[in-house]
Amino acid sequence: MPDQLRSYYSGKKVFLTGHTGFKGTWMLALLNELGAEVKGYALAPEDSAPFHDLFTSRKMGESVIADIRDRERLKKELISFQPDFIFHLAAQPLVLLSYDIPAETFEVNVVGTANVLEAAKSLEKRCNIVVITTDKVYDNKEHHGLYKEDDRLGGYDPYSASKACTELVVDSFRNSFFNIKDLAIHQKALASARAGNVIGGGDFSKNRIIPDTAKALLQGKEILVRNPGSVRPWQHVLEPVVGYLQLGAKLVDQPEEFSQAFNFGPQPEDHLTVKELVERAIRIWGSGKMEISTNGAAMHEANLLKLDISKAQEQLMWSPKLNAVEAIEWSMQWYKTPVDQQADFTFKQIDNYLSK
């Protein structure tokens, strides 16, 4: 697989939004390994999220620090770069934070996506675009069934609703401006990717279970768990990131077939509860204690969500390489690594993953 991906991305120009975030930094590192020329566009990494800063000395491409809502700046940076690929990851990605800043969440996630696609509309060249949304775009009835790409969209909380709206924006642009029947005219192939809950080293976001677990273990404190019975499609961050790249490659060769939405998640047996995930993390770490919060979350969060990944498996030939235990182990190993070695360890994990 490494050689196959390299054949599509080596020497190609990739415009990557959200490159300073958790998933965006992993994407940036992977594209660097594949020999791509990357231009990132994102806000500066937060003080509480130093992952991206580990790589600042490595010069992994051009970095533009700007807001996705700045339409003119975004268009200027994208058009001047003339990308072969656009991967749109920039977002307000947190459910609980979306309750505090609902309007901003919609502005960033919905209008920001429209800004990216409108800028791409001005490109007078062939370009393949993948917009990353989330597993939470579905109208979640909290049943044990697996959600497929053609299931109804919805969203209880502002974050989920904003990402469902993002999917509608993508569909609208795909119909109105990037219709596959007119590919020879507009030269754009557009797909969306819906990933489950990603875990992995470098995530320092608030109210996320792996970062909270790692911080508590490093400090010798108890791990406070809000919703121990909640079931999520946990997967290591490299799983969907590689899936996005495979989808982008498919858009090059078969845009008519792959200009659509795809789910990326774990195998059905790897949908674990929060409690199971923390217990496994403690066993891998070798010490630690969990405390169940009696208050729970102040705001609503879904308790059950599972994805059907058969479409990606059958059409993209993509499948998870790590089971749940391995994904948790890879994550905890990263956090146990000394800070001055974490950048090298990130590339080591990328190489180990690609060689599987």
DSSP string, 140-204: ----SSPBPTTSPB--SSHHHHHHHHHHHHHHHHHHHTS-GGGHHHH-EEEEEEEE--EE-TT--
Separation CA 259–CA 269 (nearest Å)? 29
The one-character DSSP state at 109 is I
Separation CA 89–CA 49 (nearest Å)? 16
Query: Comparing C-alpha atoms, which of 166, 165, 161 is closest to residue 89?
Result: 166
Separation CA 189–CA 187 (nearest Å)? 7
What's the token pair of residue 117? 């696609």
Catalytic residue among 9, 138, 147, 159: 159
Burial of 345 (0-12, 13-18, 19+ CB in 10 A): middle
Residues 121 and 177: beta-carbon distance below 8 Å = yes
How far, CA to CA in Å, does 332 sit from each of 61, 140, 207, 209, 210? Answer: 28, 30, 17, 12, 8
Separation CA 197–CA 257 (nearest Å)? 26
**353 tagged catalytic:** no
Separation CA 177–CA 121 (nearest Å)? 7
Separation CA 51–CA 123 (nearest Å)? 32
First to last CA, the chain: 9
Cβ neighbours of residue 287 under 8 Å, at least 6 residues apart?
Answer: 217
Separation CA 72–CA 5 (nearest Å)? 32
Strand (E) or helix (H) holding 213 = helix 209-219
Residues 263 and 231: beta-carbon distance below 8 Å = no
Task: Residue 294: count other Cβ atoms within 10 Å of its Cβ.
Answer: 5
> Which of the residues are catalytic?
159
